[in-house]
C-alpha cells in the first residue's frame, strides 16, 4: 500500500533544513503568532480576538487542554493558541460556489494544508450517491436524511458516532444521550488514539482516569519529570508553569528521544527577561531515551528506591502511606527487585551512570510530579509503562498531597470533559443507570466500538453510517488506506465541522457536511447568547463564550445540530427528550447534567463563579481510591520494550510546530530547523551512513508488520538529527499510512503511533 505525496505539496521544492533551535518561545514566537493571526483574520479582528482567549469573560482557547492560572496575564495565550484561534476565526470561506467548482476527484489529491487553508465552511452540503460533487441542502432535509438512513439499519450498532475533543460538555452530553437513545454505545473518540492508555492504567491503579495534580501542585513540586512530551510546541503555557516551579527551586528532568527546544530552554515572551535575556534553562537533566524505553527506566528507579530503603530503612519509602492506602506492594516489590540492568540498558539506551545520577534527584525530592503525553501512550506496552509510573509515585506517597502527583497532559481542549459527559464506548453501569433514570429509558448495556474497532467494522460492512462530531477521522486514524476504504464502504458519512478537511473528501456513498459555530463565535439562541462549558486537563470546569460574528448566517451550534438530528431520528420514540428546549437554552442542558453526573451538583450556579469549579478527584482530595480493592494498586509488570529486527529502524510519528493534529497551520517546524516542508525523516547520522545514505537523500519509508502487508510512504528527505541510534521520527498525518490498524496497545487498543518498525529505501533516479 502506497500513498502518493499530494500533487501540489508546496513544501517539496522549497524545503530548507537548518540547525535545530536551543530555546522555545521568545520574540520569534510573538512575531510568528501575530503574523499568522494577521494573515487569517486581519489586524483589528486579531487583537479583539486574541485578547479574549482564556480570560474569565472570554472563550476557552481551542488549542490545548492546559489549565488557566488564577492570576491571568492580559494575554493568556501562546503562539500555538494564537494559531488555533486564527485558524478558526479566519476570514476565508468555503461556500457553495467552492463546491460547485471543485469535484471530489479534484479535492482528493490536495494536501491537508491546502484543504484547511480554504477557510470556514458556510453552508450544509450534501453529496448524493454517485454525484461527483457536493451541493447545498437545507438543515431540515439534512436531518431528515440522517433519520432515514438510521431508520433503514437492521440494528443501531450499524452506526458509529465519533467525537473529537473540542466538543463542549453540553454538546457531548446531548450527543451521547442521542446515541444511547438511538440504541448503541458505538461512541469512538479521539481519546482512543490519544490518552486512552493513561485512562486504562489509572482507572485500574488509582480508581479514576484523570491526573491528580493542580497547577499549584506543579508550582510547588521539588522534582518534575517531563516524559514523552513536547510542551514547547504542544502545551506552550506549561513552560510558564515549569518556569515558576524552577523559580521556587524545582528540578526538571526531561525524558525524550529528541532534544526538544521547549524542554531545554525557555524565553517567556510575557516577561521582559524572556524577550531580552537568555531565558530560563528548564531541564536540569535530559535523559535521551530510546523509543519505548520508559517502562524499563521507571522499573530501574523503582528497584533503586527499594534498594535505598534497604540501606536506610524508614527513610526512603512512605511506609505509612503504603500500609494505609495501597494494595499489592509485596508482589510488586518482589518483581521490581528482579529488574535486570541488562534489560534496562538495552531498552533505554542510557548508561547506568546516567540513570543513577538522575536517581539522585529522585531521592532528594520530597514532592515529585510526573508529566507525560503521547510519548508514553502510543506504544504496545503503554498501559504497563504507565502502571510503572504509578508504582514509582506510590512508593513515596506522591499522590494526594501538595506538590506531588500524576499529570497526564491532555490534548484537545475538552477531551477530558467529553469523557466525563459519557463519550465512551464502555460506559459504567452507574452512569447508564443514572442516564436511564433521568430520561426514562433503558440505555443499551453492551459495549460499543472504539476507534480501531469502528474502522474494522466499517471495513467489514458491519457499520454503515458514520457520524463525526468534529475532528478529521480519515486523516487522524491509523492505516490511511484501510481507513479510507472503510469510510467509502459506508452508506452515509456525516461530518459536523468548522473547516474543510480530508474527511469531507473521502466519504460514504452519500455524505453530509454540517457546518457549525466555533468557540470564538457568538452563539445566539432564542433565550439569548449562550455559553458552553469545558473541563481542562486538571479537572477545572469553566464557561466559554465566543463574541465574534459567526462565519456565516447559515451555521448552527453543535448543540443545535445534535438536537436537530436527534429530534428527526428519534421522533416520538423513547427517550422523550425536550430537544427543542435544550437547543434554545443551554442552562436546561446543564440542569440535567447536574442530575446525572457526580460532581456537577449546582452546575449552573457554580460554573458562573469566576474561574469555575474543580471536579472531585478522590485520590487527590482525600487519598480515597475507588478501585476494586478500595486502595491504590501496586502492579507487577514484566518489562517490555520494542525489539527491532536487524537493519530496521523504529519510527515515531509526531507533531511539527506548525500543526494542530491534522490541521496544518504552516510548513515550518522552527524549533527543529525545518522550513517550508513536511516530508522529512529525522534519523541519526550513523544510521544514515550505515545504509549508505547521507543527510538530504530522498527515501521511501516502508513499514513492516506481522500481517505481511508492506505499507509505504514515498519520498521523504532525510535529516541527520540527534536522535538515539535506531530511532527515527516523521510527522503525522503524512505517516499514518505506515501505522498498521492491528498494531495497538494492550488493554487500551491505542494505535502504536510511536513505535513502527520501518526500513528505508533510497528513491530511484534521484
Ligand X SMILES: Nc1nc2c(c(=O)[nH]1)N[C@H]1C(S)=C(S)[C@@H](COP(=O)(O)OP(=O)(O)OC[C@H]3O[C@@H](n4cnc5c(=O)[nH]c(N)nc54)[C@H](O)[C@@H]3O)O[C@H]1N2
Beta strands in 568-612 (DSSP E): none
Residue 348 interface partner, choices Mo ion, ligand X, none, CB cut-off 5-8 Å depending on type: none
**Does 62 sit near Mo ion (CB under 5 A)?**
no
Pairing of strands 159-163, 223-227: unpaired
Nearest to 188 by CA among 431, 473, 597: 473
Chosen residue from 194, 263, 505, 649 binding Mo ion by CB under 5 A: 194
- At 25 the three-state DSSP class reads strand
- Least distance CB 665 / Mo ion (angstroms): 16
- Residues at the site binding ligand X, with contacts judged by CB under 6 A: 62-64, 80, 164-166, 190, 193-194, 227-230, 233-235, 255-258, 260, 289, 291-292, 294, 373-375, 378, 411-412, 469-473, 476, 496-499, 501, 516, 518-519, 558, 652-655, 659-663, 732, 735-736, 739, 753-754
Cell of 752: 502504536
C-alpha dist (Å) from residue 458 to 67, 201, 447, 530, 687:
37, 28, 17, 36, 39
With binding defined as CB under 5 A, does residue 279 bind Mo ion?
no
Q: How far is the CB of 295 from ligand X (least distance, A)?
A: 9
Nearer to ligand X by Cβ, of 435 and 741: the residue is 741
Shortest distance, CB of residue 700 to ligand X, whole angstroms? 17
At 121, phi and psi to the nearest 5?
A: -70, 135
- For ligand X, give the closer residue by CB, 531 or 633: 531
The smaller minimum CB distance to ligand X, of residues 519 and 592, is found at 519
Q: What is the CA radius of gyration of the chain?
A: 25
Shorter beta-carbon distance to ligand X: residue 616 or 714 = 714
Give the residue with the Cβ less far from ligand X, 63 or 443.
Answer: 63
Closest residue (Cβ) to Mo ion? 411
Using CA atoms, how far residue 469 sits from 478, 495, 557, 597, in Å, is: 19, 6, 11, 21
Cβ neighbours around 430 below 10 Å, total:
9
Smallest distance from the beta carbon of 661 to Mo ion, in angstroms? 7
Task: Say how many C-beta atoms besides its own lie within 10 A of residue 310's C-beta.
Answer: 10
* Binding site partner of 289, from Mo ion, ligand X, none, Cβ cut-off 5-8 A by kind: ligand X
Binding mask 320-359 for Mo ion (x = CB under 5 A): ----------------------------------------
When binding is defined by CB under 5 A, the residue of 58, 183, 262, 411 that contacts Mo ion is 411
Q: How far is the CB of 139 from Mo ion (least distance, A)?
A: 30
The item of Mo ion, ligand X, none sharing an interface with residue 472, based on CB under 5 to 8 Å by kind, is ligand X
**CB of 391 vs ligand X, minimal distance in Å:** 17
Chain centroid offset of residue 229 CA: 11
Q: Which does 80 bind (CB under 5 to 8 A by kind): ligand X, Mo ion, none?
A: ligand X
Q: Residue 506, interface with Mo ion (CB under 5 A)?
A: no
Angstrom distance (rounded) from CA 449 to CA 161: 10
Closest to Mo ion by CB, 194 or 727 = 194
Q: How far apart are CA 332 and CA 328, in angstroms?
A: 6
- DSSP assignment of 359-424 equals HHHHHH-SSEEEEE-HHHHSSTTHHHHHHHHHHHHHHTT-SSSTT-EEEE---BTTHHHHHHTT--
Kindly identify the residues of this chain, within the stretch 100-139, that bind Mo ion according to CB under 5 A: none
Total site size for Mo ion, rule CB under 5 A: 2
CA dist., res. 116 & res. 225, Å (int): 35
Q: Is 562 a residue that touches Mo ion (CB under 5 A)? A: no
| Least distance in angstroms from the C-beta of 613 to ligand X | 23
Find which of Mo ion, ligand X, none residue 207 binds, CB within 5 to 8 Å per kind.
none
- Kindly state the smallest distance separating residue 534's Cβ from ligand X, in Å: 11
Q: Beta partners for 328?
A: none
In whole angstroms, give the CA distance from residue 25 to residue 14: 25
Q: Which stretch binds Mo ion (CB under 5 A): 197-205, 408-416, 479-487, 528-536?
A: 408-416
Which does residue 384 bind out of ligand X, Mo ion, none, counting CB within 5 to 8 angstroms by kind? Answer: none
CB contact burial 369-381 (16+ within 10 A = b; e otherwise):
bbbbbbbbbbbbb
CB of 201 to Mo ion, least distance (A): 16
Question: Which residue has cell 496544518?
Answer: 664
Using CA of residue 90, residue 96, residue 102, residue 108, what is the dihedral sign? positive
Q: How far is the CB of 363 from Mo ion (least distance, A)?
A: 33
- Please, which residue, 293 or 397, has the CB nearer to ligand X? 293
User: How many helices (H) and strands (E) would you count in the chain?
Assistant: 33, 33
Q: How near is the Cβ of 151 to ligand X at its closest, in Å?
A: 24
Residues across the chain? 766
Which lies closer to ligand X via its Cβ, residue 11 or residue 546?
Answer: 546
Q: Which residues bind Mo ion (CB under 5 A)?
A: 194, 411
Amino acid at each position: 500500500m502506497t500513498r502518493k505525496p499530494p500533487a501540489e505539496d508546496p513544501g517539496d521544492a522549497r524545503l530548507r533544513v537548518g540547525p535545530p533551535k536551543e530555546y522555545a518561545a521568545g520574540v520569534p514566537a510573538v512575531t510568528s503568532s501575530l503574523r499568522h493571526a494577521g494573515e487569517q483574520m486581519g489586524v483589528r479582528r486579531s487583537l479583539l480576538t486574541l485578547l479574549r482567549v482564556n480570560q474569565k469573560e472570554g472563550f476557552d482557547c481551542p488549542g490545548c487542554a492546559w489549565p488557566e492560572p488564577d492570576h491571568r496575564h492580559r494575554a493568556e495565550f501562546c503562539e500555538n493558541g494564537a494559531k488555533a484561534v486564527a485558524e478558526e476565526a479566519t476570514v476565508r470561506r468555503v461556500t457553495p460556489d467552492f463546491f460547485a467548482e471543485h469535484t471530489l476527484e479534484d479535492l482528493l489529491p490536495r494536501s491537508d494544508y491546502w484543504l484547511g487553508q480554504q477557510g470556514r465552511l458556510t453552508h450544509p452540503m450534501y453529496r448524493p450517491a454517485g454525484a461527483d460533487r457536493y451541493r447545498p441542502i437545507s438543515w431540515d432535509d439534512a436531518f431528515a436524511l440522517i433519520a432515514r438512513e438510521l431508520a433503514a439499519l437492521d440494528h443501531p450498532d450499524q452506526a458509529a458516532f465519533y467525537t473529537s475533543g473540542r466538543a463542549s460538555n453540553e454538546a457531548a452530553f446531548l450527543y451521547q444521550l442521542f446515541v444511547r437513545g438511538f440504541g448503541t454505545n458505538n461512541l469512538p473518540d479521539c481519546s482512543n488514539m490519544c490518552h486512552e492508555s493513561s485512562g486504562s492504567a489509572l482507572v485500574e491503579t488509582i480508581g479514576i482516569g484523570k491526573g491528580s495534580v493542580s497547577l499549584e501542585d506543579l508550582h510547588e513540586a521539588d522534582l518534575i519529570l517531563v516524559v514523552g512530551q513536547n510542551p514547547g510546541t504542544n502545551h506552550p503555557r506549561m513552560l510558564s508553569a515549569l518556569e515558576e516551579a524552577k523559580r521556587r527551586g524545582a528540578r526538571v528532568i526531561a525524558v525524550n528521544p529528541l532534544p526538544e527546544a521547549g524542554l531545554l530552554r525557555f524565553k517567556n515572551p510575557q516577561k521582559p527577561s524572556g524577550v531580552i535575556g537568555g531565558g530560563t534553562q528548564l531541564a536540569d537533566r535530559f535523559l535521551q531515551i530510546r523509543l519505548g524505553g520508559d517502562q524499563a527506566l521507571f522499573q530501574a528507579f523503582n528497584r533503586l528506591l527499594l534498594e535505598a530503603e534497604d540501606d536506610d530503612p524508614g527513610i526512603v519509602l512512605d511506609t505509612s502511606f503504603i500500609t494505609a492506602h495501597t494494595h499489592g506492594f509485596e508482589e510488586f516489590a518482589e518483581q521490581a527487585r528482579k529488574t535486570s540492568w541488562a534489560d534496562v540498558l538495552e531498552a533505554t539506551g542510557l548508561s547506568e551512570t546516567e540513570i543513577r545520577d538522575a536517581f539522585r534527584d529522585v531521592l532528594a525530592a520530597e514532592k515529585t510530579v510526573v508529566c507525560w503525553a503521547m510519548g508514553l501512550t502510543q506504544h504496545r506496552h503503554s498501559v504497563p509503562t504507565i502502571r510503572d509510573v504509578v508504582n514509582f509515585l506510590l512508593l513515596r506517597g506522591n499522590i494526594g498531597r501538595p506538590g506531588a502527583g500524576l499529570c497526564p497532559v491532555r490534548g484537545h481542549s475538552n477531551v477530558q470533559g467529553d469523557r466525563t459527559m459519557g463519550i465512551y464506548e464502555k460506559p459504567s453501569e452507574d452512569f447508564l443507570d443514572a442516564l436511564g433514570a433521568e430520561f426514562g429509558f433503558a440505555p443499551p448495556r453492551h459495549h460499543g466500538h472504539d476507534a480501531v474497532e469502528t474502522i474494522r467494522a466499517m471495513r467489514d460492512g458491519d457499520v454503515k453510517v458514520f457520524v463525526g462530531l468534529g475532528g478529521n477521522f480519515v486523516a487522524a486514524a491509523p492505516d490511511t488506506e484501510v481507513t479510507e476504504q472503510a469510510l467509502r464502504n459506508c452508506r452515509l458519512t456525516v461530518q459536523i465541522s468548522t473547516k474543510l478537511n480530508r474527511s469531507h473528501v473521502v466519504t460514504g456513498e452519500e455524505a453530509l457536511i454540517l457546518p457549525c459555530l466555533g468557540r470564538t463565535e457568538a452563539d445566539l439562541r432564542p433565550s439569548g447568547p449562550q455559553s458552553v462549558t469545558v473541563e481542562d486537563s486538571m479537572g477545572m470546569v469553566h464557561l466559554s463564550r465566543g463574541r465574534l460574528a459567526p462565519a456565516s448566517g447559515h451555521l448552527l451550534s453543535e448543540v443545535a445540530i445534535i438536537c436537530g438530528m436527534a429530534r428527526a431520528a428519534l421522533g416520538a420514540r423513547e427517550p422523550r427528550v425536550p430537544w427543542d428546549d435544550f437547543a434554545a437554552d443551554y442552562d436546561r442542558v446543564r440542569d440535567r447534567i447536574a442530575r446525572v453526573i457526580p460532581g456537577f451538583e449546582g452546575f449552573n450556579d457554580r460554573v458562573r463563579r469566576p474561574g469555575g469549579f474543580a471536579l472531585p478527584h478522590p485520590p487527590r482530595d482525600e487519598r480515597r481510591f475507588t478501585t476494586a480493592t478500595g486502595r491504590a494498586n501496586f502492579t507487577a509488570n514484566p518489562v517490555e520494550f520494542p525489539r527491532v529486527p536487524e537493519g530496521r529502524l523504529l519510527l515515531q510519528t509526531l507533531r511539527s510546530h506548525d500543526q494542530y493534529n491534522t490541521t496544518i497551520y504552516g510548513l515550518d517546524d522552527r524549533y527543529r530547523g525545518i522550513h517550508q516542508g513536511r516530508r522529512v525523516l529525522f534519523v541519526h547520522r550513523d544510521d544514515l551512513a550505515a545504509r549508505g545514505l547521507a543527510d538530504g537523500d530522498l527515501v521511501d519509508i516502508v513499514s513492516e508488520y506481522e500481517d505481511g502487508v508492506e505499507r509505504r510512504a514515498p519520498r521523504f528527505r532525510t535529516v541527520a538529527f540527534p536522535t538515539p541510534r535506531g530511532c527515527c521520527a516523521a510527522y503525522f498525518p503524512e505517516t499514518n499510512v505506515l501505522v498498521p490498524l492491528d498494531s495497538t496497545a494492550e488493554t487500551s487498543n491505542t494505535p502504536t503511533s510511536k513505535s513502527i518498525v520501518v526500513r528505508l529505501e533510497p528513491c530511484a533516479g534521484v
